[in-house]
Amino acid sequence: MKKLSKIYLGLVLFFLYVPIFVLIVFSFNTTKSRTVMSGFTFDWYIKLFRNEIIMESLWNTIIIAVIASITATILGTAAAIGINNMKKVPKAIVMNITNFPIINPEIVTGVSLMLLFVFFAARMNFEFGFWTLLIAHITFSVPYVILNVMPKFRQMDPFLYEAAQDLGCNSRQAFFKVVLPEIMPGVLSGFMMSFTFSLDDFIISYFTSGSDSQTLPVTIYSMTRRKVSPEINALSTIIFLVVVIVLVLKNVIERKSENNKVKVKGEKV
């Protein structure tokens, strides 16, 4: 049983990783062939870094992801506080609408935003580009922030805030010193989620991007539709490495802080 389950796990991992490793291996190929390795080279990486379109869209992607996730986090956290204080029925209505972009197929969200932007673009004389992308990214990110923050309120002691005020905090102090630290894990994970979703989003960006400010996934899509150059493999390799490094770091930090917590608790006892 133990052995069998290890084999099974191995097979699934093989299935998940083989395509990625094939991409990586052929990013070092001297020719464009994807079946025969004819030599080792870094040429495609050099070409990739010289490719202005890719570099520019990478820059756009990062800027949009940063602004969108910060805005979404602030907007979403504030919203979660307010929604938490609502009565049952309005709360249910708001939460249902908030869930919509999550449940809805991305293509429908993208299309609906496109229709909205087209409608206003014609009347208010603006055009698709950076701002439409940003708005779209904030829109699909906020619900994730709210959904991450809301449960933290449920776990929090409802009297904590009042206790802080009784002890002489004004409401701002009470919020920043008492409430915020309590909900911080939810805020952070909401921020991380919206950041990664924003970095990775293709479908919604595809429908809301304009003549400038393409994001990286949109550029990748147009790359796969043309003469494909192994630059795309090089790009995959770099993205993969970045992901590995970030995730490993995250894991290490989390584990350390957990160990610390255990230690602190141990000392207290």
Question: Pattern of binders to other proteins over 21-40, x per CB under 8 A?
Answer: -xx--x-----xxxx-----
Q: Phi, psi (5° rounding) for residue 47?
A: -60, -40
Considering only residues 28, 44, 191, 207, which one is a binding residue for other proteins as defined by CB under 8 A?
207
Q: Please spell the DSSP secondary structure of 185-246, one letter per residue.
A: HHHHHHHHHHHHHHHH--HHHHHH--SS---HHHHHHHHHTSS--THHHHHHHHHHHHHHHH
Quick check: 193 binds other proteins (CB under 8 A)?
Answer: no
Question: Pattern of binders to other proteins over 171-190, x per CB under 8 A?
Answer: x--xx---x-----------
Question: Pattern of binders to other proteins over 119-138, x per CB under 8 A?
Answer: x-xx----xxx--x--x--x
First vs last C-alpha separation in the chain: 40
Taking the complex as a whole, how short is the minimal distance between the CB of residue 104 and other proteins, in angstroms?
Answer: 6
Structural Rg of the chain based on CA atoms: 23
Both tokens of 125, joined, read 């004389």
Taking the complex as a whole, how short is the minimal distance between the CB of residue 269 and other proteins, in angstroms?
Answer: 20
Quick check: 15 binds other proteins (CB under 8 A)?
Answer: yes
Considering only residues 27, 73, 139, 205, which one is a binding residue for other proteins as defined by CB under 8 A?
139
Q: Which stretch binds other proteins (CB under 8 A): 62-70, 184-192, 201-209, 261-269?
A: 201-209
Quick check: 41 binds other proteins (CB under 8 A)?
Answer: no
Quick check: 103 binds other proteins (CB under 8 A)?
Answer: yes
Per CB under 8 A, contacts with other proteins among 73-102 are 75-76, 78-83, 85-86, 94, 97-102
Q: Please spell the DSSP secondary structure of 27-95, one letter per residue.
A: TTBSSS-SS----B--HHHHHHHH-HHHHHHHHHHHHHHHHHHHHHHHHHHHHHHHHHTS-HHHHHHHH
Per CB under 8 A, contacts with other proteins among 247-266 are 247-248, 251, 254-255
Rounded CA-CA distance 199/66 in Å is 9
Nearer CB in complex with other proteins: 115/184: 115
Quick check: 202 binds other proteins (CB under 8 A)?
Answer: yes
Quick check: 163 binds other proteins (CB under 8 A)?
Answer: no
SS percent in the chain: helix, strand, coil, step 5: 80, 0, 20
Considering only residues 62, 67, 70, 116, which one is a binding residue for other proteins as defined by CB under 8 A?
116
Residue 40 forms beta bridges with which residues?
29
